[in-house]
Amino acid sequence: MKFRLLAAIALIAAPMTMTTGASAAEVNVYSYRQDTLVRPLFDAFTKETGVKVNVVFARSGLIKRMQAEGRNSPADLVFTVDIARLSDIVNAGLAQPVKTPALEKAVPAEYRDPEGMWYGLTLRARMIFTSKDRVEKGAITSYEELADPKWRGKICTRKGDHAYNIALLSAYIGHYGEAKATEWLKGVKANLARKPQGNDRAQVKAIMEGVCDIAIGNHYYMALMLGNDKQKPWAASANLVFPTLAGEGTHMNVSGVMLTKHAPNRANAVKLMEFLVSKKAQGIYANVNNEYPIDPDVKASPLLESWGKFPRDTIALDKIADNRAAALKIVNSVGYNDGPVTN
Amino acid sequence: MTGLQASATDARTRGTRRFRPDPWAAGAFVITAIVALPVLTVLAAAFFPTENIWPHLWDTVLPGYILATLELMAGVAAGTILIGVSTAWLVTACDFPGRRIFEWALVLPLAMPAYVVAYVYTDILEFAGPVQALLRDIFGWRTAKDYWFPEIRSLGGAIVVMTMTLYPYVYLLTRSAFLEQSSGVGEAARTLGCSPWAAFRRVSLPMARPSIVVGVALVLMETLNDFGTVDFFAIQTLTTGMFNVWLVMNNTGGGAQIAVVMLIFVIFLLVAERAARRKRGYHDTSTRPRLPVRFVLRGGRKLLAVLVCAVPILIGFIVPAGLLTSYAIEFYDVSLNNRFPQAALNSILLAALAAVVAVMIGLFLAYAVRLRKSTLLRNLARFASLGYAVPGAVLAIGILFPFGAFDNAVDGFMRTTFGISTGLILSGTIVAVLFAYVVRFLALAYGTLEAGLGRVTPHMDDAARTLNHGPAQALIKVNLPIIRGSMLTAGILIFVDCMKELPATLLLRPFNFDTLATYVYQFASDELLEECALGALTIVAAGIIPVILLTRVMGRNRPDQEFSIT
């Protein structure tokens, strides 16, 4: 009886939801990015080409899903919010190279894989926010200074094992090596005002609340807060710093895209990739999400332009990805998430 | 008559053949094997890691995870016992204004997803929230450094939030236990000179102990696999640790190893729960409880009773529901887009379907165990129920791999044999999501129905069999009508839990498919409470009606047999 029921359910469900293989006008996306953020771009793409974009969004685990699905995986493209996941997928052998003139022209060499395994779509800067009232402008200009004992009890960050912080620490390891990175993180931990918690916005809010004077966060959160009535005062309490790392520049991460090894709709997938680096789509990214366009010829949003130009850290993105496991071990070994209490 | 004899007699009376295939045992075996797949997949990953980081975990974060998990569990256990038992006793043994309303309203927080309650209280109690703003206005403080205020994002905060959303499990079970015993034994104690308090302490409470233990075990399993609340409050528990190692660090072996530590916790809980139920030596011999006589409370006691019952409802339901409602009204244009109604429909259909399937499978297993009286079968069924305590994200990964392997095997076979590709048959369909729900919540169904069937005397089966009914007919004609209540209870609990389920749904769902929980999540994951209020409220609303139904059902039946885990 049970089996018959299950079979019946499967029969009803299958045509409704059966994972679509190749078909004329579709492309299937696994996205680590929220669908609300990418949906406007996909809608624009569908409008222009008539190709339907199907999305599964999850914050984690999609790579496991692709591994399990193997050669029959319906996914054509994977969207990620940082470099580490892109490299995970390449390392798992789930990507296939793609090179087209449009892709290579729009995306600068440092923001794409040399073999074409992945392409950056947008850039996000990891910034320092400082209290307007309590920190003088120019008092902190580098990530290194976050470990300076003069900021004891003044710093707020989200959890140390969050992908954005891991990427920053990975870049630090890339410049200085593991031993110095460990020392640095110990210093930052000692300077924490409270146990790491909340998202990047919550750190800026903590500045407004007087809980801390310095916070770390991605640049577009500042833009999001400025666009939200309730959060405007949070943003208004902080100054923006584009810090340097090893004298070079601000740590940048990419949101990116890659073509899967078994992509059943390869042609449409490549079409979507090219669309996303087109001037039109880059403009949407820039103005809707306030991310820095990957194409240097496309202007950032007026708000971002008003923040001015700044030097960028030049460390290779794949090096950041390679150092991730080491970075997470350092976060664990200094007990970063326990907060300022020494144990 | 034992099961073995029964089937022997059966075979003899039919007289056709000596060996018959045993559909019940075979069916139970197959079902448990399938349902246990996810947990087995995780175990395999733990014991055969590709890169073993266990030593690193053990030296750094793991002791902290274990300690925090234990502290959280201890706090939540204490809180839920205190609230659950005291309110249960008040509404069954005492009379005071509003008692009849409290009786069902005390269950309402069960419909609230804990992580939503966590968001709500952070919104209210944090620095920028209304409470602290008011205090600053009154006392003229300016920054957070000017005064002390309890930090909501803390272990204490997590304990309070989880206590307030989970105490209904303890309340429901304890209340049913008190209802069952309240008439005879309580009065006997009073005639022997006990005060109401002494009657409670010396008679009612010990008799209800097994039910309380079952309730607390359920609560602790939920506590153990919670991710949303502890992550939001930045508590480093086993679940958050495992999540980071497995999905952030992408180290499957390490994540699975932490999952095994959690399974050890669960097995310990199950053993403790079994032991507590076995020791139950008290029985009310009267078959039909009379209407209870309640102590009429007056004056200060009356007020206190009202307060004790009202506060948990206020904190666990009214305040969060109120805030969500006001946000939902204010931001309905942001949250109400064309995907919302479809998401609501998906949630309700999927949860209802999962409830039906899980109850049927649970019934099949429980009846097979009853028929065959095999310890092996019983232990298999219990092992299959472990899915209840596995965090959803882990369960999802444990499902991805066997499903993917199955699909690809079928596809490979079809390709080589017939030259056609079948692609993915199960992976990425709602069947996978449904399977996750069934694996996750089968424990509720099996445990409840095993206990429910235990209440039916075997003589009933025997009588049916002498009337030449087969086991299946005996189940349908004799047992089913008696355990209808248990089936409804299990079904409702599973429905409500499925409505709230997030991590497995997120990872296993088909393209362009939302449930209310995933719909809410896309806003909630950015800590944007306002935008997700409408969806959250709908989850709550869909949960309320069954939850109220549940109170009615459980008021009628014997509690500790009505409801248990495995």
Q: Is 50 exceeded by the pLDDT of residue B306?
A: yes
- Comparing CB atoms, the residue among B143, B151, B404 nearest residue A210 is B143
- pLDDT tops 60 at residue B66: yes
Work out the end-to-end distance of chain A between its first and last CA atoms, rounded to an integer number of angstroms. Answer: 58
- Do A87 and A59 lie in one domain? The reply is yes
Interface-testing mutation among B227, B406, B512, with chain A (most A C-beta atoms within 10 A): B512
Residue A61 Cα, gap to closest chain B Cα (Å): 6
Interface probe, candidates B153, B233, B249, chain A, greatest A C-beta count within 10 A? B249
Beta strand A77-80 with A26-31 is parallel
Cβ-defined contact of A13 to B360 (cutoff 8 Å): no
Taking contacts as CB-CB distances below 8 angstroms, the residues of chain A near B510 are 17, 19, 56
Amino acid letter, residue A224? L
Of B56, B430, B509, the CB nearest to A56: B509
pLDDT tens figures, B252-281:
888 888 888 888 888 888 888 777 766 554
The residues with which A256 forms a beta bridge, in sequence order, are A80, A120
If asked whether residues A317 and A263 sit together in one domain, one would say no
Q: Do A197 and B429 make contact, defined as CB atoms within 8 angstroms?
A: no
pLDDT number for residue B240: 85
Q: Inspect the interface and report whether the beta carbons of B511 and A55 lie closer than 8 Å.
A: yes
Candidate from A64, A72, A234 with C-beta closest to B407: A72
Find the residue in A nearest to B507 (Cα).
Answer: A58
Name the residue facing B430 among A17, A20, A63 (closest C-beta). Answer: A17
Question: Taking residues B168-172, what's their average pLDDT?
Answer: 89
What CATH number does residue A272 fall under? 3.40.190.10
Domain-located, residue A8: no
Is the distance from CB of B343 to CB of B505 less than 8 angstroms? no
Give, as one character, the DSSP assignment of residue B147.
Answer: S
Does B337 contact chain A (CB < 8 Å)? no
Residue B464, CA distances (Å) to A269, B11, B88, B371, B473 in order:
63, 16, 39, 13, 8
Percent share of chain B, pLDDT over 70:
87
How many angstroms separate the CA of residue B364 from the nearest CA in chain A? 8
**CA-to-CA distance for A160 and B236, rounded, in angstroms?**
12
Indicate yes or no: CB of A67 within 8 angstroms of CB of B248. Answer: no
Which of B144, B249, B525 faces A210 most closely, judged by CB atoms? B144
Q: Are residues A104 and A202 in the same domain?
A: no
What's the whole-number mean pLDDT along residues B1-10?
A: 43
ipTM of this predicted structure: 0.82
User: What percent of chain B is modeled with pLDDT above 90?
Assistant: 23
How many independent structural domains does chain A possess? Answer: 2
> Is there a contact between B360 and A21 if contact means CB atoms under 8 Å apart?
no
Same domain, A131 and A280: no
Q: CA-CA distance, A108 to B455, in Å (whole number)?
A: 72
Q: What is the pLDDT of residues B88-97, one digit of tens each?
A: 989 988 888 8
- Whether residue A331 is found in the same domain as residue A219: yes
**DSSP-assigned letter for residue A53:** E
Task: Tell whether A146 is covered by a domain.
Answer: yes
Size of interface A-B (CB pairs under 8 A): 186
Closest residue in chain B to residue A22, using alpha carbons only: B423
Residue range B512-527: mean pLDDT, rounded: 80
If asked whether residues A238 and A163 sit together in one domain, one would say yes
pLDDT given at position A260: 97
Q: A297 to chain B nearest CA, in Å?
A: 31
Chain A residues with CB-CB distance to B429 below 8 A? 13-14, 17-19
Q: What is the DSSP string of B423-451?
A: --SSTTSHHHHHHHHHHHHHHHHHHHHHH
CA Rg value for chain B: 25
| Cβ contact, residue pair B250, A161, below 8 Å | no
Same domain, A143 and A214: yes
User: Average pLDDT, whole number, for chain B?
Assistant: 82
Looking at the complex, report in whole angstroms how far the Cα of residue A72 sits from the nearest Cα belonging to chain B.
5
Residue type, B444: L
Dihedral Cα B132, B136, B139, B142, nearest 10 deg? 140
Contact between B425 and A71 using a beta-carbon 8 Å cutoff: no
- CA-wise closest residue to A83 among A328, A289, A272, A253: A253
Q: What residues of chain B lie within 8 A of the CB of A58, using their CB?
A: 506-507
**Nearest CB to B361: which of A2, A73, A332?**
A2
In a domain, A79, yes or no: yes
Kindly report, residue by residue over B325-336, the tens digit of the pLDDT. Answer: 988 888 777 666
Is A19 close to B429, i.e. CB distance below 8 A?
A: yes
**Looking at residue A263, what is its pLDDT?**
95
Residues of chain B with Cβ-Cβ distance to A28 below 8 Å are 511
**B49 contact A CB<8A:** no
Q: For an interface test with A, which of B511, B514, B525, B529 has the most A Cβ atoms less than 10 Å from its Cβ?
A: B511
Model confidence over B209-231: pLDDT tens digits?
878 887 898 899 889 888 888 88
The answer to whether the Cβ–Cβ distance between B522 and A21 falls below 8 Å is: no
CA atoms within 13 A on the CB side of B35: 29
pLDDT at B364 over 70: yes
| pLDDT surpasses 90 at B479 | no
Chain B residues touching residue A332 (CB < 8 angstroms): 56-57, 60-61
Distance from B64 to chain A by nearest Cα, in Å?
Answer: 9
Structural domain includes residue A210: yes
Structure tokens at B178: 């008190």
pLDDT at A262: 93
Residue with tokens 């999927």: B350
**Reported pTM:** 0.85
Decide if pLDDT at B380 tops 50: yes
Positions of chain A with pLDDT under 70: 1-24, 342-343
- Please give the residue of chain A at the shortest CA–CA distance from B123: A202
Report d(CA B389, CA B452) in Å as an integer.
22
> Residue A61 and residue B128: Cβ atoms within 8 Å?
no
- State yes or no: pLDDT of B44 exceeds 90: no
**Contact call for residues A65 and B507 (beta carbons, < 8 A):** yes
**Judgement on whether residues A247 and A130 belong to the same structural domain of the protein:** yes
From A6, A17, A198, residue closest to B357, measured CB to CB: A6
Contact call for A19 and B249, based on CB within 8 A? no
Range of the domain at A205: 124-251+309-338
Q: Which residues of chain A make contact with B421, given a CB cutoff of 8 A? A: 21, 72
Residue ranges of B 127-166 with Cβ closer than 8 A to chain A: 127-128, 142-146, 151, 153
Q: Which helix (H) or strand (E) holds B413?
A: helix B392-418
Choose the weakest-confidence range: A58-72, A221-235, B22-36, B48-62: B48-62
Please indicate, yes or no, whether residues A108 and A129 belong to a single structural domain of this protein: no
Reported residue count of chain A is: 343
Give the gap in angstroms from C-alpha A210 to the nearest C-alpha of chain B.
5
pLDDT of residue B20 exceeding 70: no
Q: Is B408 on the interface with A (CB under 8 A)?
A: yes
Mapping DSSP to helix (H, G, I), strand (E, B) and coil, where does residue B152 land?
A: coil
Q: How far is A255 from chain B (nearest CA, A)?
A: 16
Q: Is B64 on the interface with A (CB under 8 A)?
A: yes
CATH number of B1-8+24-48+352-566: 1.10.3720.10
**Which residue, among B143, B152, B250, would best test binding to A if mutated, counting the most A CBs under 10 Å from its CB?**
B250
pLDDT tens-digit map of B116-168: 888 888 888 887 778 888 888 888 887 777 788 888 888 999 999 999 999 99
From the list A2, A36, A194, which residue is nearest B360 (CB)? A2
Q: Do A21 and B127 touch (CB under 8 A)?
A: no
Widest distance between CA atoms in chain A = 74
From the number of C-beta atoms within 10 Å of its C-beta (0-12, 13-18, 19+), residue A309 rates as: exposed
Three-state SS for B161-190 is HHHHHHHHHHHHHHHHHHHHHCCHHHHHHH
Structure letter (DSSP) for residue B281: -
Res A55: pLDDT = 93
Q: How far apart are CA B293 and CA B186, in angstroms?
A: 9
DSSP letters for A131-196: ETTTS-TTS--BSGGGG-GGGTT-EE-S-TTSHHHHHHHHHHHHHH-HHHHHHHHHHHHHHBSS--
Q: A13 CA to chain B: closest CA distance, Å?
A: 7
The answer to whether residues A326 and A228 belong to one domain is: yes
Q: What is the rounded CA–CA span in Å between residue B275 and residue B561?
A: 15
Note whether B526 contacts A58, CB cutoff 8 Å.
Answer: no
Residues A119 and A46 in one domain: yes
Average pLDDT over residues B406-428: 89
b/e map of B2-19 (b: 16 or more CB within 10 Å)?
A: ebeebbeeeeeeeeeeee
Q: Three-class SS string for B206-275? A: HHHHHHHHHHHHHHHHHHHHCCHHHHHCCCCCHHHHHHHHHHHCCCHHHHHHHHHHHHHHHHHHHHHHHH
Residue of A2, A79, A332 for testing the chain B interface, max B β-carbons within 10 Å:
A332
Q: Which residues of A touch B27 (CB under 8 A)?
A: 2
Q: Specify if A37 maps to a domain.
A: yes
Q: Is the pLDDT of residue B206 over 50?
A: yes
User: Looking at the structure, do residues A172 and A216 belong to the same domain, yes or no?
Assistant: yes
Entry field: residues in chain B: 566
Of residues B480, B479, B452, B458, the one with CA closest to residue B562: B452
B236 CB within 8 Å of a chain A CB: yes
Contact A192, A104 (CB under 8 A): no
Interface of B with A in 263-322 (CB under 8 A): none
